[in-house]
Structure 1
Amino acid sequence: MTAAGTSEPEAPDLAWPVGTAGLNEPKRALVAAAELVAAALLVWLAVWLWSRGTVPLTPIAERPDLAFERYEGNWIGAAVAAGTLALVVVLDAVRQVTLAVRARSRRT
């Protein structure tokens, strides 16, 4: 049997893909600025939701020095979720700034 008579298919080109755009893109700084604005709005939302979730109760006549608050779980949970989302957005903004400033191509 000869090499020309085999019916095996040819192997595809297994080379790594070459990227056309580098990681260093200054427009990433604009994306990071927008994400920081969104994170600030999310923090404001979390504070507002937290204040909605805490309801002060009337003090007891015998003990006016004691203050009671009732916590409503749906508002508190939404506040925690908004705060967590704000943290994730800030982390992504840091990543965007890092890629906009520090990533340089290896071409010299």
Structure 2
Amino acid sequence: MSTPQTSEPEAVGLGWPDEPGRLDQPRRAVLAVGELVLVGLLVWAALWCYDRGTVPLSRVAERPDLDFQHYAGNWIGTSIAAATLAAVLLLDAGRQLVLAVRTRA
């Protein structure tokens, strides 16, 4: 008995690649340095926005020991967004650096 033949054509481009790409690409290190510069700028922007978002209010004459702060939500939210983006870019910069120096065994 022979094996049954299928009439379905082979899918083009779904097999294993013939030549795998190199993982140790030194240009990734340049990208990582650029991301680290951007992380520094985003951290500075987050601190600047947080400073603009906190405004001390006047003291109450009867209770001089109480300090009041007004938190502006738009500036605090922008600060949190900038810090979160900086954290994500920092993780990606670490990944890029690992891929820049990694060699195949």
Shorter-normalised TM range:
0.7 to 0.9
Match of 2:96 in 1: 96
Task: Show structure 1 runs of 5+ residues with no match.
Answer: 1-5
Shift of 1:56: 0.5
Q: 5 Å matches for 1:52-71? A: 52-71=52-71
Deviation at 1:57, TM superposition (A): 0.1
Distance 2:18 2:57 in 1: 64
Match of 2:59, SS state, is: coil
Q: Is 42-51 or 60-69 further displaced after alignment?
A: 60-69
Normalised by the size of structure 1, how large is the TM-score?
0.82
Give the CA deviation at 1:96.
Answer: 0.3
**Matching of residues 1-108 of structure 1 within 5 Å:** 8-12=7-11, 14-19=14-19, 21-101=21-101, 103-106=102-105
Distance 1:7 1:20 in 2: 30
* TM-score, scaled to structure 2: 0.84
Residues 93, 53 of structure 1: alpha-carbon distance in 2 compared, 3 angstrom cutoff = same
Distance 2:91 2:6 in 1: 53
Provide the aligned C-alpha RMSD in A: 2.1
Structure 2: runs of 5+ lacking an equivalent: none
Equivalent pairs: percent with the same residue?
Answer: 50
1:56-106 C-alpha deviation (Å, 9 max, x unpaired): 1001111222111010111101100000000000000000000011x2134
Distance in structure 1 (CA, Å) of the matches to 2:19 and 2:64: 69
Equivalenced residues, count: 101
